[in-house]
A = this chain, B = another copy of it.
Amino acid sequence: MKRIFDPVHRFIELEDGEARLLDLPQLQRLRRLRQLGLAYLAFPSAEHSRFTHALGALAIGSRAFDSIARHGASFFSDSRQVAYQRRLVRAALLLHDVGHGPFSHACEAVLGVRHEDRTKELLALPDLRAALEALDVEPDDILALVLGDPRTRYPALRELVSGPNLDADRMDYLQRDAYFTGVVSGRFDVEQLLESLRLYERDGNLVLGIDSRGVVALESFVTARYMMFASVYFHHTTRVFEHILHEVLQELWPNPRALDAIDEFLRWDDFRVLNELGSVKTEAAQALRERVRVYVLAAEFNAESDLRAFEACERSLRERYGPENVWSDEQSQVMHRLPLVADASRPTVWVGTPAGLVDARVASDLIAKLSGNAYWRKLFVRRTAVDVAEARKLCALMVASLQRA
């Protein structure tokens, strides 16, 4: 038994086999991948790693599992099944981010390999397989949970591990990112949410849901996620550097195929990228390393109704300053699960009421109203080429004239 201290979850206990899994270089590497990528350039203290998040996900996932097992004993054939599935959830959460490269999404975009595929390769490595066998869990069961494979034997556990709505991954990262940035509005009523988790049977399948007494906790979970996107994940400073990062990684990795081999891929982490930037002489690389803001915010549009204003301003700025000096950042497409699903035909979260299971949009007006997309559109101009005050004024006048119209 090993005990690790964490400011979010206090002591986290690991079985010896779990500790050995965690000690593998492939997992220790998570210490060199930051949970929030470049967000530290807007929130300096957001320097926490995917390693602490993996531990935290295991910790909260175990509490979540214990809650559903306690309330849903009849869904388990015997205590060995409970123990097996608990080991499974814990190992899967420890491993769920292991396939990420430096700066995650940017890395995927540049290299063209999804982190899920990397994870698959990683879990096939001999030392990882051996560690999982020593833990007495099936690597394939793990893989199905981590990849969210619909054919898993454990569909409710898959939801607990990889979502899309009630996953331990998010339960940890919202709390952790709130703690390390200091943004209090990212906190939610985790105690009540955990206590309300339930297994339900729905059309012959096992699903993860909540008891109706947990509806307010679920609402707090959903709004906390929204708040963190609005405050932190899409902060304009973060977005600027993520934009630059893409360019920089292309310079750094002129031949993406060179990182196809898993061994080569694993040699890369955030620290190495930041380090190698020191010798890349392009403006973008220096900007990223020394936090030089190449682009400055000219205008932002966060309401659905702003689309026309956004497009008009974008056009004006491009005409006035040239398209190469304007960067337009639209975030609606990645937001399809915010707050819950946009696709109104798919169920969100099942809520157990005395009258049977209902969708969370039926149980909660707040969730019903918040369903749909959220939009974050930002217009940036290149600082060295554009008179920023003028650009801002140009946008303001455009918006004002549209509002009057």
Which A positions have Cβ atoms within 8 angstroms of B?
A: 3-8, 10-11, 23, 25, 28, 31-32, 40, 43-45, 47-49, 51-52, 55, 179-185, 187-191, 195, 215-217, 219-220, 223-224, 226-227, 230-231, 267, 269, 271-272, 274-275, 278, 289-292, 299, 302-305, 353-356, 358, 362-366, 368-370, 374-375, 392-393, 395-400, 403
Given contacts A219-B230, A365-B302, A366-B226, contact A3 B195 (CB under 8 A): yes
B289 touches A182 (CB 8 A): no
CA separation between A392 and B354, bound complex, in Å?
A: 8
B6 touches A182 (CB 8 A): yes
CA separation between A138 and B52, bound complex, in Å?
A: 43
CA separation between A181 and B275, bound complex, in Å?
A: 26
Residues of B within 8 A of A190 (CB): 184
User: Which residue of B4, B49, B223, B304 contacts A223 across the interface (Cβ within 8 Å)?
Assistant: B223
Which of chain B's residues has its CB closest to A55's CB? Answer: B44
Residues of B within 8 A of A219 (CB): 226-227, 230
B51 touches A48 (CB 8 A): no
Question: A7, A183, A304, A370 — which one has the most chain B CB atoms within 10 A of its CB?
Answer: A7
B188 touches A184 (CB 8 A): yes
A40 touches B48 (CB 8 A): no
User: Which residue of B7, B31, B224, B292 contacts A180 across the interface (Cβ within 8 Å)?
Assistant: B7
Given contacts A219-B227, A278-B267, A396-B355, contact A28 B289 (CB under 8 A): yes
A47 touches B40 (CB 8 A): no
CA separation between A356 and B11, bound complex, in Å?
A: 27
User: Which residue of B275, B278, B355, B368 contacts A399 across the interface (Cβ within 8 Å)?
Assistant: B355
Residues of B within 8 A of A25 (CB): 289-290
Given contacts A182-B10, A362-B303, contact A220 B216 (CB under 8 A): no
Residues of B within 8 A of A304 (CB): 365
Minimum Cβ distance to chain B for residue A337 (Å): 16
B10 touches A191 (CB 8 A): yes
B375 touches A365 (CB 8 A): yes
User: Which residue of B227, B366, B392, B400 contacts A370 across the interface (Cβ within 8 Å)?
Assistant: B366
